[in-house]
A and B are shown apart, each in its own frame.
Chain A
Amino acid sequence: MVFTEPKEAFPGSIYDITFGAERTVTFGGENSLAFHGFEGAAPHHPVIAFEVQDSLPDDWPPAVHDVYAGVSGDPAAWAQFCQNELKAQAIALRLLSTHPDRADRSAADAARTVADVLAAVSVPLIILGSNHVEKDAEVLVAAAEAAKGRKCIIGKAQEKNYRTITAAAMANDHLLIALSELDINLCKQLNILITQMGYARERIIIDPMCSALGYGLDYTWSVMERIRLAALAQNDAVMQQPMLADVGMYVWKTKEAQAPEAELPRWGSLKQRGIAWEVITAGSMLLAGAELLIMRHPEAVASIEQFIGELSVTEAG
């Protein structure tokens, strides 16, 4: 039988996003499904940002915390370490200590942290709140002002706080992460609400909510696939933004990434298990369509970079 390759061309395409000031990176821009370079254009590789926190990450398990021993108490030093030693393409600063259940640090404190980190690194920065709806609205406004001129990505804007955060992104020329919880309709609705405020839809990054391997990864996978098909096949202009997978925070709190070998000898090496958990979660999100990843373990990042390189060469042989 004569075989004709059933290649597909889609009417829609994904916006590309460039962020950063002194140094910039660009992701998105493709007009085909993830790594389908054999039938479409994929001008940019996905980007991986190393996660940095504004306070000692005492809930990170040793397997990943140890990598940052010596710098993890100082966000600027930590970010610098990621940029200089680990060759990070981008940094994601999570202002976790502003959460009322943690240190409840003020928006002004957060702004100072942002300024310190920006002074320490030249790679592009993602600025994340603590995922407390009310507090994030305060913190991210101050952070956005402190980062004016650096064209950062800020977030996450959610249905209950998008107005203030969107306004802050708009006023200070930043890009915006829109977070909805595993629901394609809520994702679309939030994008519409944000653009109705006059914010350009080409400047949004979709976060459909990540989950870890074994803990709902199948939901994120299918929501991402559906969002991407809506963007490409149905040419839905409201859904044509690149997608974020906030991988590390979900992976490193799972039992599989933490349980010692002595406790669960049948689960094998803890070190490789933790890295594998982050690697499979991240790799899977890439195949489902994510273009921006936030990760924690440098060895996992290195493997994912190799994987991206390999996926980007799709011709056989």
Chain B
Amino acid sequence: MALSGVQIFKLLPKTNCKKCGHPTCLAFAMKLAQRQASVDACPDMSDESRRMLGAAAEPPIKTVTFGAGPHVCTMGEETVLYRHEKKFVRPTVIAVRIADNQPDTDIHTALADVLDSEIDRIGQKLRIDAILLDYVSGNPARYQQVLETVIAHAPDVPKILSVQDADVAETALRSAGAKKPLLHGVTIGNFEAMAQVALKHSVPAGVIAQGLDAVAQLTGKVKELGVSELVIDSGARTAGAVLRDNTLARRAAIKKNFKALGYPVITFAGRDDAMLETLVAMTGIAKYSSIVVLSSAEQWRDLALFTYRQNIYTDPQVPMQVEQKIYTVGEPTPESPVIVTTNFSLTYFIVAGEIENCRVPAWLAVMDCEGMSVLTAWAAGKFTPAKIAQFIQESGLPEQLTKKELIIPGYLAILSGALEEKLPGWTITVGPREANALPAFLKNRTQQEMQSKP
């Protein structure tokens, strides 16, 4: 468990020598507690203190990486149980399982689906992160053949080799080892041989046992053999078992500093029922799985799970922002209405969604207010008539419009007078207070315009 500043202070020389760059030992201790300083900055610390602080500085969930290159998967390093306490740092790796007994055509389809899975959402490029290649054929040559196919077609996608036979693993790692796959297949029956293979090729290993107690026993044994980058699989397959085992393992690691379970968790979500599989995967993402393995890459499910992972892994203390720009909803014309709001992502999504639903094309002018909502931004002096006017004038929008009418949020009706002064030639219209009234507002407005035309 992480030490407090005062606990750390007791381990320091208490000489206030300033060699570390901090005015006092206490100040240095506080920085160490916040992980903003390194133990190495103190030259006079005793070896015993250094060892204790070093152990305390290790994250309760070990950092484990697999894959190589731009899409390397990094897991672990989590420090909390609930996301409102502190951001969850390492988004769940979403992997797709390919079994070596599948027909070649199915394998090629699965590979194509994985390679084509990239989706852009709120400026993030999201994709299936890894492929798990499962040895189920019992035929070492077949596994090797499928592995070569996967390597040839998806060289940069990180791989998980699900193999419990040390000889098959050794052969596989001769082809795949350079790109650091995860070797998932250490059991109580094979751990000595498998640990040797993992060590030889410097790859992380997945430890499989039934139940957390057996997992903890086995990680201890494997670690003694020198393999320190581990991933754990307690055999949980149902939503209830995943929730239970993941919760107890995360708690043990974070609250009890129980190192034998302080590793990333791999969850196999594969089910016959596609929606149930989606729900088990969702449970893994919400509740502490570092890898979720799916049975296939379905576009609808990829979109839903990527979005869900983004929701869970955003920083709850930093408002989500969207880029400042003029967004188009539908296909607006030079006569379409202009609606201005702030760049708090929730505000943007709700406003854009409401406009979209009523199918009235519009320009949505989203202004950078550091991710604050309309009223907060106004109260903080970031959404003022002068700033709004400047944003609109510099946006390039006026040049595209024949009708200059700006719709402002209903809560800020009081700004309309000042805005009219700052935006000469524009009509300022006060919109509804809540976004859910926008469809009615826009539809009425369009109807009135139609009627007023001869």
Question: Is the CB of B350 closer than 8 A to any CB of chain A?
Answer: yes
B293: interface (CB < 8 Å) = no
In the complex, whether A299 has a CB less than 8 A from a CB of chain B is yes
Q: Which of A38, A218, A258 has the most CB of B within 10 A?
A: A218
The residue in chain B whose Cβ has the minimal distance to the Cβ of A215 is B349
Asked whether any CB of chain A lies closer than 8 Å to the CB of B202, the reply is no
Interface residues of A in 176-228 (CB under 8 A from B): 211, 213-219, 221-222, 225-226
Binds A, one of B22-30, B272-280, B333-341: B272-280
In the bound assembly, the distance between CA atoms of A95 and B287 in angstroms comes to 37
Interface status of A27 (Cβ within 8 A of chain B): no
Of A59, A266, A307, which is within 8 A of B279 by CB? Answer: A307
Tell whether, in the assembled complex, residue A267 and residue B299 are in contact, meaning their CB atoms are under 8 Å apart.
yes
Residues 245-276 of B, flagged 1 when their CB comes within 8 A of A and 0 if not, give 10110011001101111000000000001111
B276, A313: Cβ atoms closer than 8 Å: no
Taking a contact as CB atoms under 8 Å apart, the answer to whether A287 and B283 are in contact is yes
Minimum distance in angstroms from A213 CB to a CB of chain B: 6
> How many Å from the CB of A308 to the closest CB on chain B?
9
On chain A, the residues within 8 Å of B300 by CB distance are 267-270, 272-273, 276
- In the complex, the chain B residue whose C-beta lies closest to that of A218 is B311
CA distance A208 to B298 in the complex (A): 32
Give the contact stretch, choosing among A1-9, A16-24, A78-86.
A1-9
Q: Does B72 contact A (CB under 8 A)?
A: no
* Most chain B C-beta atoms within 10 Å of own C-beta, residue among A101, A217, A276: A276
Question: With an 8 A cutoff between CB atoms, is B149 at the interface?
Answer: no
Given the contacts A213-B311, A266-B119, A3 and B279 also touching, CB distance less than 8 Å: no
- Residues of B contacting A101 with CB < 8 Å? 437, 440
The distance in angstroms between the C-alpha atoms of A307 and B281, with both chains bound, is 12
- B210 interface hit (Cβ, 8 Å): yes
| Min C-beta distance of B189 to chain A, whole Å | 19
Q: In this complex, what residue of A is CB-closest to B274? A: A272
Residues in B neighbouring A279, C-beta threshold 8 A: 275, 278-279
Question: Knowing A213-B311, A287-B286 touch, does A272 contact B298 (C-beta < 8 A)?
Answer: yes
**A89 on interface, CB distance cutoff 8 Å:** no
Q: How large is the interface on A (under 10, 10 to 19, 20 to 34, 35 or more residues)?
A: 35 or more
Contact across chains for A6 and B256 when beta carbons are under 8 A apart: yes
Question: Within 8 Å CB of B256, what residues of A?
Answer: 6
Does A221 contact B260, Cβ atoms closer than 8 Å?
A: no
In the bound complex, residues from chain B placing their C-beta under 8 Å from that of A307 are 239, 276, 279
Contact, CB under 8 Å: A276 / B275: yes
Which residues of B381-414 have CB atoms within 8 Å of chain A's CB atoms?
A: none
Most chain A beta carbons < 10 A, residue from B240, B247, B305: B240
Bound state CA distance, A38 and B235, in angstroms?
A: 17
Instruction: Assess the A280–B248 pair: CB atoms within 8 A.
Output: no
Question: In the complex, which of the residues B82, B234, B286 contacts A229, with contact meaning CB atoms closer than 8 Å?
Answer: B82
Most buried by B among A217, A279, A280, A317: A280
Q: Does B208 contact A (CB under 8 A)?
A: no
Pick the contact of B307: A2, A214, A219, A313 (CB < 8 A).
Answer: A214
In whole angstroms, how far apart are the Cα atoms of A135 and B239 in the complex?
42
Q: Who on chain B is nearest to A259 by CB?
A: B356
Once bound together, how far apart are the Cα atoms of A303 and B301, in whole Å?
14
Contact between B301 and A272 (Cβ–Cβ < 8 Å)? yes
Q: Does A253 contact B (CB under 8 A)?
A: yes
CB pair A216–B244 under 8 Å, yes or no, is no
Complex CA gap A5/B261 in Å reads 11
The complex places the Cα of A307 from the Cα of B211 at a distance, in Å, of: 21
Contact among A226, A258, A268, A277 for B298, CB-based, below 8 A: A268
Neighbouring A residues of B255 by C-beta, 8 Å: 6
With A3-B261, A5-B212 as known contacts, state yes or no: A280 contacts B304, CB within 8 Å: yes
B312 at the interface (CB under 8 A from A): yes
Not counting A226-B82, A316-B236, a sample of 14 additional A-B residue pairs whose C-beta atoms are within 8 angstroms of each other reads A35-B240, A37-B240, A38-B244, A215-B350, A218-B83, A253-B353, A267-B299, A268-B299, A268-B301, A276-B300, A280-B304, A284-B286, A300-B275, A306-B273
Residues of chain A having any CB pair with chain B under 8 Å = 1-3, 5-8, 35-38, 59, 101, 131, 211, 213-219, 221-222, 225-226, 229, 253-256, 258, 266-270, 272-273, 275-277, 279-280, 283-284, 287, 299-300, 303-304, 306-307, 310-317
Seen from chain B, the residues whose Cβ lies within 8 Å of a Cβ on chain A are 82-84, 119, 121, 210-213, 216-217, 220, 234-236, 238-241, 243-245, 247-248, 251-252, 255-256, 258-261, 273-276, 278-279, 282-283, 286-287, 298-305, 307-308, 310-312, 314, 316, 346, 349-350, 353, 356-357, 436-437, 440
Supply 12 A–B pairs (Cβ within 8 Å), ascending by A: A3-B261, A5-B212, A36-B247, A38-B244, A225-B84, A253-B357, A256-B307, A268-B298, A268-B301, A279-B278, A303-B273, A316-B234
